[in-house]
Structure 1
Amino acid sequence: MRPGLPPRGCRANILRGALRVIRVGVYIDYSNVYSGARDAFVLTGQPGHRGNVNPLYLAKCVALNAPDGTKRSDTHSLEFTKVFRGAPDPRKEPKAALMEAKRAANWERWGAQVYRQTLDYGQGRPVEKGVDVRLATTLTMDAIKRAMDLAVLVSADKDFRYALINVRDLQQVELEVAIWQAVPGGSAIGRIELRPERPMEPEVPCHLLTRSDFSRLEDTVDYRRQPTPPGWNAPTS
């Protein structure tokens, strides 16, 4: 498939007037987005809730605006938002687990699909295990099923390079990525690039999300005041 041409066999299921509307699926690597915001916007010395974003706002931002900032809401529609993140074990971190469960429940009420993996404590401190594999697998399967026409991956994790290559090779959907653009004094890892493996191919278009974007997307809900999710049977304090 030549760059810029519609993917083979791809067809949208929505029409607005005479325009074919592109269905956009957004995949959010949440811990990467959170830590990336704290680094890029010099928030590491601020309380831990700074850096959280509203995933629906984020998804709409990248779905309805092109990587160059051009608005495209007349030609693109947000089909779904999928959020992938680690979840504290309520037996080991009851307070953190409850806050995360409240946050996930809120996101699901807003319309996001939240995929949670219990953190691994085998190294003495909690670490995410399997989150990136689940995201990559879900993205690939959605592309095979043509669940969307355009997939936007919000992450700076270079390990997703191979998932993007696999999806591009399927020639079923278009691809974009999104990362934070650091302010002076901040730090950013940089975008995912295909070049190390595919030096002759064009890179995946990239959204550079600014500090101004973050201000509009930040999740400012005080989850301490949110109700306990239905069915929660772990400690609440």
Structure 2
Amino acid sequence: MNLPYEQKITIKAWAEEDRPREKLLALGRRNLTDAELIAILIGSGSTTESAVDLSKRILYSCNNNLASLAKLSVQDLSKFKGIGEAKAISIIAGLELGRRRKDTEFSNFDKILTSKDAFDLLAPYFADLLHEEFWVLMLNKANKVLHKSLISKGGQAGTIADPKIIFKAALEHNAANIVLAHNHPSGNLKPSQADLDLTKKLKDAGKLLDIGVLDHLIFAGNSYTSFSDEGHF
């Protein structure tokens, strides 16, 4: 016989040593597992399993990879028994806060001296995206970051990067140099011929405006390809 809603297995009903909230208070947040942290977000499990067990099941479906978990939608998470829309939203919101925290850690970047500098700065913006986006870093003559601009969003197969919009943004921020970046949701780091043609077109246009196009990065997961490092510049 199913238990009534009020008798679902809440965190308060667990043995004290199994309560992640109390464990966090007593031992600190770093002593909690990923499943225990997610259990705090969702608060309760179902009639047949605790929130921690439910969290373990969700993580297992993602190969215990938080980056894969962050890609799940409300609809995906709601397919798990015990996860309704509200709990799914709590999980997504918690992971998004973590992503934004990482974003702010790079907000005080000084100069872009290598492709890795540009990757570290822009990686939080491309994390977990299932569609393509095109971004541009605006730099001064000393390659200090002036601004980051999202130029366009597209689908899984591509996005449109209009040179007029790119250089309008560069001129508005008095950029002396720019770095181009977009992602490949497919995971393929190899630039397409369209990527190469666009980069050449933008480099040529930049010369006319005295704005240097220093690099073009392709993001895929936790990796990237730099056109400059690969000799395309």
State the TM-score, normalized to the length of structure 2. Answer: 0.27
Greater helix share, structure number: 2
State the TM-score, normalized to the length of structure 1. Answer: 0.27
- Rg (Cα) greater in structure: 2
Which structure is richer in relative contact order (CA contacts within 8 A, separation 6 or more)? 1
Greater strand share, structure number: 1
